[in-house]
Amino acid sequence: MHTDTPTASWQLLRTMPALAHLDVERLRWLADRVQWRVLAAGEPVPCPFSDTRIHLLLSGQVQVCCANVQGRELLLGELLPGQMFGNALSCKAMPQGVRMEATQPTLLAVMEGQIVQEWLYHDSAMVLGILQNVTDLLWQLVARVVEMGTLNVRSRLHMRLLALAQRQGVEGNQVLLSPSPTQASLAAYLGTTREEVAREMSRLTRLGLLQRQGRSIFLSNLDGLLALVEAQ
């Protein structure tokens, strides 16, 4: 983990929706007081919920994972640039077994609890920004619960591939996922085994909906993939 202050740090803070209303002077003031953290892929976020700090995700991606008593890992969700996490007003510890780690090179700006709480008392736009962030995360969790409870593993895999396609950027009815998710990461997200993921990926290949291209996955017919979900 590196903590050097990045170039034009106040401009990076402006990319956060919760801070977009601040003027340059205020952004510069904040940039001098946050702690900058650069995480490598696979590196855990240190103590993400141990106190009242707020972590601002400026670039990269962070995943939230947990393991059950049998040791099987489940990917609870992912955080993308523009989102934030932490305990702004409480010090409740993160549940045992839950961890957060970067999935790619990631830049965080960490606001100490005292700065956060003083700011919240004087900046209603900041409060609204945090509430919006919490609301977004809540609906993401609701969508995950509905998906896990109503779709079988095959359909959950199809939905996951479609979501990754949208994130990557769709051109026409096709998209290249590069780098592609591993079977292990897909299994963790779907709450299943790598073997089951591998079987369904092979079936999608036989159907002409998916092609392996080195370390990438080419989805050649997104409409066909969506039709499989709708046909469940």
Q: What's the total number of domains in the chain? A: 2
Residue 117 — pLDDT band, cuts 50, 70, 90? confident
Per-residue pLDDT, 36: 93
Q: Do 36 and 94 have their domain in common? A: yes
Q: Do 167 and 210 have their domain in common? A: yes
Per-residue pLDDT, 232: 73
Q: Which domain holds residue 82?
A: 9-149
pLDDT digits (tens, 9 = 90+) for 171-218: 788 999 988 888 998 999 998 999 999 999 999 999 999 998 888 999
Angle at 95 between CA 91 and CA 99, to 5 degrees: 100
Phi and psi angles of residue 208, each rounded to the nearest 5 degrees, phi first: 80, 20
Least confident of 33-42, 165-174, 199-208: 165-174
Q: Do 94 and 43 have their domain in common? A: yes
pLDDT digits (tens, 9 = 90+) for 61-113: 999 888 777 777 888 889 999 999 887 655 566 666 788 999 999 999 998 88
Q: Do 137 and 40 have their domain in common? A: yes
**Final residue before a domain boundary, out of 149, 175, 194:** 149
- Cα separation, 103 vs 14, in Å, equals 23
Is 111 a domain residue?
yes
- Name 174's bridge partners: 171
Is 79 a domain residue?
yes
Q: Do 18 and 120 have their domain in common? A: yes
Q: Do 130 and 156 have their domain in common? A: no
Average pLDDT over residues 117-138: 82
Share of the chain above pLDDT 70, in %: 92
Q: Do 82 and 160 have their domain in common? A: no
Q: Do 143 and 204 have their domain in common? A: no
CATH number at residue 210: 1.10.10.10
Q: Do 49 and 115 have their domain in common? A: yes
Kindly report whether the global pTM for this prediction surpasses the value 0.85.
no
* pLDDT, greater one: 9 or 88: 9
**Final residue before a domain boundary, out of 149, 169, 203:** 149
Share of the chain above pLDDT 90, in %: 39
CATH number at residue 121: 2.60.120.10
Is 32 a domain residue?
yes
Q: Who's near 74: CB < 8 A, 6+ residues apart?
A: 65, 66, 67, 68, 188, 189, 191
Q: Do 144 and 40 have their domain in common? A: yes
Cβ atoms of 7 and 73 closer than 8 Å: no
- Cα separation, 194 vs 153, in Å, equals 12
On average, the pLDDT of the chain sits at 86
Q: Do 210 and 142 have their domain in common? A: no
**Final residue before a domain boundary, out of 149, 184, 211:** 149
Per-residue pLDDT, 1: 59
